[in-house]
Structure formats: C-alpha cells, structure tokens
Structure 1
Amino acid sequence: MIEDFVRHYGYAAVALGALAEGETVLLMAGYGAHLGWLQWPLVVAVAAIAATMGDQFFFFLGRWYGPRLLHRFPGLKRRLPRVERLLQRGAPWAIVSVRFLYGLRIAGPVLIGMAGVAPWRFIVFNAIGALIWAPIITGLGWVFGAGMVQLASRLQQGEEVLLMAASVVVVIAWLLWRRRHRADD
C-alpha cells in the first residue's frame, strides 16, 4: 500500500510523509529511488525541506498554543519532562536528535516550542537534524528496500493465514455455542 502511494504520488508522497512521522514513506521512497522511480537526491531534498517545514509548524503551534494543547492532548504532558531533560543536557543537540526519538517526532517540536527555545535556534538546529535524517532514512530504504518489500509480503501472507485461522475458530466456537444452546432447549 505504501509502495503504491510512493509510486503513484512520487515526491508529493515523500513531502506528505516527511511532514508527519514519515520514516515508512521515506524508506519506501529510498527503495523507489533504487528501482529508478524517483531520484535519490530529490527524495532527500524534498524530505529534508518538508520535515523542516513540518517541524517548524509544530514548534510554533507549541509556542503559541502550548497550554491549550497540553490540556487537549494529555499524552503531550507525559512527554514534556523527557523533552525538558533533553533540552537541559544540551539544547542544540536535543533539537537535532528529537526527530530520531520514537514518539517525539511531532510532539518534540511542540514541546520545544513550549519550552521557550528561541525560534532562530530551533530553525537552525531543526534544519541540521532534517539534513542528517533525510539521507540516513532514504539510504536505508535504498539499501534494505528489497528486503523490506519481501518482509512486508511475508507479513501480509502471515496476516492472511491468521485471519483464516481466526475465522475457523470463530465458526467452530459459534457452532459449539449453538449446539450447546439447542441442547438446553
């Protein structure tokens, strides 16, 4: 499904994927570049620009609407101490690394915006992070893409087998239940 999305929409899919937590789309785009659907340098450039823009949006969202967002999304509040600890240890590298930390790709910039980091500082280090992130993830897709497609295919086959087995179990359970209730009547 993601393969079709990337193949059909190309660089627009890369941009949309990078705006949100786009590792999966970017991995597939790297594989697509390997197959010749896309050009690797353009995938990296589009991903880095879109990821930077997306994080800037979330940073300013946190800066302007932070308390309201904490009230509306309690999960953000649970992540705030983690981001504050990262910022206390070394703000520039916390900004760069937040995109690599699971669960903080979108929440991180919101929380950094709430923490009072200067906008210029976030813009610079966020862009550096995107320029590191985009070629790494795209490169992983380039190198390991074929294996990912095979793994996804096997997982899909496994899901189909599990679905069929679950269906059989449900039918047998229903037949046994029905048989028992008929015996009670």
Structure 2
Amino acid sequence: MTEFLKHIGEHVGVWLYVIAAGLAFAEAAILVGLVLPGETALLVAGYFCHEKVLNVWVMVPLAIVAAIAGDSVGFEFGRKFGPRIRRSRLGRFVGEPRWQNTDQFIHRHGGKAVLFGRLTAVLRALTPSMAGMSGMHYPTFLAWNATGGILWGGGCVLLGYAFASALHRVEQYLTWAPLAVLALVILAAIALHIRRRRRERVAD
C-alpha cells in the first residue's frame, strides 16, 4: 500500500506542493473548504514528506503561508462584498437577525473567534469572510489568523508525517501477523493430535 502511494507521489512530483498549498489557500479564500477541507491535502502532503517525495522543511512553511494568505483574502472579500451580500436575495434569505448574531459573536470574542474558526472544519471556510463583514480591524484579524495558521498549517503536515510512520509499522505487523497466526494454528493442531493419541493409548 505505502509503495503504491509513494509511486503516485513520485509521478506527481513537485506539483504536490502546489496542490496542497493551493487547497489550503483556497479553503477560505474562495470557500473551497465547504466542499474539500484543506487539512486533507496537508495531511497527504505530510505523508509524502515522510516518504521523501516532498521536503517537510519546505512544506510546513508553505502550508502556513498559504493558510494565512487564504484567510486574508477571505477577510478582504467579506469586508468588500459583505454589505452587498447582505442586501442580496441570499442575504435576505439568511435574515438580518442571523447576520446580527454573527456580528455580535465576533465582536464579543474578537480574535479568539478567528482562532476558534481556524480549528473548526466548516467555520474555517466562513469565519474570515464573517470577520471582514463584521468590520473587525485587520491587524487584530491578522494576529489571530497567523497564530491559527501556524498551529493548523504546520500541525496538519506534521500529523500526516507521523501518520505515515505509524502506517509503516501497521504494514509491517500486517506482513508478519498472518505467518504468526498460521504458526499458532499449526502448533494448536499438533497439540490436539498428540492429546488425542495419548487418550487412545490410555483407552487401549
């Protein structure tokens, strides 16, 4: 299994950097995260870092920068187009009370709401735009966004790296486990045969 995955990675090559970072960027920038969470791409990238297809010292900073930049674009999108979206048919469908509740939540929790959103799957795609719509100051947003980007971007890649190591151990166990089970079955069969022969001798 791992050899097959490594073979795929070697054929894709350096484009894996572009794909993983691009999805991490697009998650909040263009709401791709509503369909495909960016951490999936970064976990896969971490796996390929372990397999030496990618360089972990390149992938980690790239993931962090892509995450921070993507959220910044999402923030700017919300700041610029938020009022227009609220006045649109979609905005009226959502309802002004819900928009106001979102504003109040972000104003009440400030940057902590940005950090919480970064670490939550669906909110990760929406929080930057919501922060921009609510009028949060960008320096405040950027500070908490950078913190979340470092924790999330670097953490996902390193988690994928650690998963690859664990996967190799599982694969080794799965390689030898059938042989161990077969040996136990053979030993059990021999023991039962010897026991049956002894009973037959006693009966005679």
1:120 matched residue in structure 2:
139
- Name the CA shift for 1:33/1:90 in 2 (closer, same or farther; >3 Å): same
Q: How does 1:8-47 map to 2 (within 5 A)?
A: 8=13, 9-19=15-25, 20=27, 21=33, 22-47=38-63
TM-score by length of 1: 0.67
Q: Give unmatched runs, 5+ long, in structure 2.
A: 28-32, 171-204
Rounded to whole Å, the distance in 2 between the matches of 1:52 and 1:72 is 31
Contact 1:83 1:108 in 2 (8 A): no
Cα deviation, 1:96-122, whole Å, max 9, x if unaligned, reads 221111212221100110111101111
* Matched residue type, 1:18: A
1:49 matched residue in structure 2:
65
Rounded to whole Å, the distance in 2 between the matches of 1:81 and 1:103 is 20
- Name the CA shift for 1:138/1:72 in 2 (closer, same or farther; >3 Å): farther
Rounded to whole Å, the distance in 2 between the matches of 1:126 and 1:99 is 8
1:134 matched residue in structure 2:
153
* Matched residue type, 2:129: V
Q: Which has the larger radius of gyration?
A: 2
Select 1:92's aligned residue among 111, 133, 136.
Answer: 111
1:104 matched residue in structure 2:
123
- Give the match's secondary structure for 2:157: helix
TM-score by length of 2: 0.61
- Give the match's secondary structure for 1:10: helix
- Name the CA shift for 1:110/1:32 in 2 (closer, same or farther; >3 Å): same
Contact 1:5 1:13 in 2 (8 A): no
Rounded to whole Å, the distance in 2 between the matches of 1:52 and 1:106 is 12
Contact 2:50 2:161 in 1 (8 A): yes
Cα deviation, 1:84-137, whole Å, max 9, x if unaligned, reads 464245212211221111212221100110111101111121111101111211
Contact 1:80 1:111 in 2 (8 A): no
- Give the match's secondary structure for 2:124: coil
Contact 1:26 1:137 in 2 (8 A): yes
Rounded to whole Å, the distance in 1 between the matches of 2:46 and 2:122 is 22
Q: Percent identity, aligned pairs only?
A: 31
Using the TM superposition, give the Cα deviation of residue 14 of structure 1 relative to its aligned residue in structure 2, in angstroms. Answer: 2.1
Rounded to whole Å, the distance in 1 between the matches of 2:90 and 2:50 is 39
2:163 matched residue in structure 1:
144
* Matched residue type, 1:107: L
